Chain A
């Protein structure tokens, strides 16, 4: 049976960085972490990391000083919403452009 005439084109994405390109360009607000309020950074222990857990795009590192990969962060703000110590603030991208 020949199926070669039929390409059967669909949109299937494998797990990995940047399937839809550099989605950081979609961002309107940028999450900024205040390490002075961030639990693992403050205590020097692998604790909390709720931002890492909740980030739907997996762009926050599980480090003592969490880092946000701005190349792909879409700026949804879930990390800021979930952070129990309000260490993450959403700042308008326009402010960074003005800098």
Chain B
């Protein structure tokens, strides 16, 4: 069904189609309209789920952890400081291998207070052991959220679906909401390998020793490091699984094909701009202008799967280009943009190795003007490899003072 709605409503419609059974959330801008919409759906009897009103984001995720452990499909959503407030449970959910889905409606992190968009909130949880997907438009919010439920439940690793606050959450776009019957065929009933079973009581996520220990049956039980190594290995395996799920989705719904990253005009590109979220769409205009006005063969690569990072695919997509420009809305303070570090590391073994430049844009919703993106990208393409590294590298675009 074609519809025109906000990004938050697109997410809520996807959660309804996924038949989530427990919703627990605490309001925070710009996420609030998403979970408000879900509470309306439950109130009207359109969604058969329990809405748990909690006193904090920490409790919201704790309720989802409890629900998944009890064998029902949970959902929560948050932004910025709310995500950081639940951070302890974010790490817990990953270590417990709980198949959760959470929408992170990206917003800058205080202090100072900002309600506007950047990616620092999700990036700050990069190393928690969650799968992180970034999307660029409302259709991708809908489709990626549905795929996220299946991925989380197939690999038993929690998934964050990250979309830009305001740019997507509060703007209206046309998108297609698939029929319930076909979604039911795509997404089987909830499954968790370690569901609580009263006839077989267990202590979940009990204390581990630095080394292996002997369990009650006298068998060797894994250490903390064994369990964490397994999480890492299976997160890497989730890359292939996401591709398989995307293929199944495409067969049923006719959309998809770029689950890990989406290249645009990259086939003959000498320069590729790498970005995540709506910024990647904005760069399509920049690429057009670079090609038409300057004869610069540029392309843009939108990273969809940020964790696990698809290193070899990124390398394959960028091998042979002259320059890579990484524009991002997050920073590892005192060092560089996190996406830049990942891309540069993926390209280290390339021969010849492309030059890579890093640009920080749009922190706390700072205006991102297409003209300014064009000017900085054009200059970088002309001077790449010959540019002086600024004292406060990376390059900053859009500073006011």
Contacts and interface: CB of A to CB of B under 8 A. Distances in A.
Contact of B216 (A5, A10, A15): A15
Interface residues of A, number: 19
| Secondary structure type dominating chain A contacts | loop
Given A18-B216, A19-B206, A11 B227 contact: yes
A1 interface: yes
Contacts, number: 81
B204 to A, nearest CB: 6
Given A18-B214, A20-B213, A11 B188 contact: no
Contacts of B224: 11
B154 interface: yes
Interface string A17-49: 111110000000000000000000000000000
Band of interface residues on B: 20 to 34
B216 to A, nearest CB: 3
Given A10-B205, A21-B209, A1 B216 contact: no
Contacts of A18: 214, 216
B335 interface: no
Residue among B95, B194, B206 facing the most chain A CB atoms (10 A cut-off): B206
A15 B203 CA distance: 7
Given A17-B216, A20-B207, A11 B222 contact: yes
Contacts of A1: 154, 188
Contact of B201 (A10, A11, A15): A15
Contacts of B207: 11, 20
A8 B194 contact: yes
Interface string B159-190: 00000000000000000000000000000100
B194 A10 contact: yes
A14 B202 contact: yes
A12 B201 contact: no
Given A9-B231, A13-B216, 5 more contacts: A6-B234, A7-B230, A12-B205, A13-B215, A14-B203
